[in-house]
């Protein structure tokens, strides 16, 4: 994605998709902020295996994801299995919306791997962070949407970012 459009345009697509999907599927309003998530984290990760050689990671406070899952399932509490399943499905919907928006902007078809869930923070090997969008909700719980690019392509991509 980093050679097809500017970082700013991509960040705008990711931001709009995340805020829209989060409010629609989980009834939570996230706003960009500066404070990263706390220590009790979960991560969901996908790799674009067709169309783009990048990946996306959502790292969020476990409490935020649990509240989103409760809202989505209309339950007061969720199990660890519910949390994992919700997180993967939520991220799948989010990435689908991103792929649609990216196709509309670039006419490049993309496909992504199934979301993988991790307890704690996950950093993909062979990739480095291109940018991070940081969010918080009304309870001061946070999330970060991280766009990764392959280490070898980062230097080649810099002239195309402007």
Q: Quick one: pLDDT at residue 1?
A: 43
**Does residue 4 carry a pLDDT above 70?**
no
Convert the pLDDT of each residue in 48-88 to its tens digit: 988 788 999 999 999 999 999 999 999 999 999 999 999 99
Residue 39 or residue 35, greater confidence: 39
**Number of C-beta neighbours around residue 47 at 10 A:** 20
The C-alpha angle with vertex 151 and arms to 34 and 101, in degrees rounded to 5, equals: 60
Q: What's the pTM? A: 0.87
């Amino acid at each position: 994605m980093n050679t097809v459009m500017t970082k700013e345009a991509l960040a705008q697509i990711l931001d709009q998709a995340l805020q829209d999907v989060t409010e629609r599927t989980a009834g939570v309003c996230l706003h960009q902020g500066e404070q990263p998530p706390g220590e009790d984290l979960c991560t969901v990760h996908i790799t674009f295996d067709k169309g783009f050689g990048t990946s996306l990671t959502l790292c969020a406070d476990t409490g935020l994801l649990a509240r989103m899952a409760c809202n989505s399932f209309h339950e007061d509490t969720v199990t660890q299995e519910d949390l994992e399943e919700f997180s993967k499905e939520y991220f799948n919907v989010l990435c689908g919306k991103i792929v649609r928006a990216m196709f509309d902007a670039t006419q490049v078809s993309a496909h992504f791997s199934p979301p993988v869930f991790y307890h704690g923070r996950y950093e993909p090997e062979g990739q480095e962070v291109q940018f991070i969008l940081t969010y918080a909700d009304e309870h001061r719980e946070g999330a970060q949407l991280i766009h990764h690019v392959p280490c070898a392509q980062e230097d080649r991509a810099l002239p195309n970012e402007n």
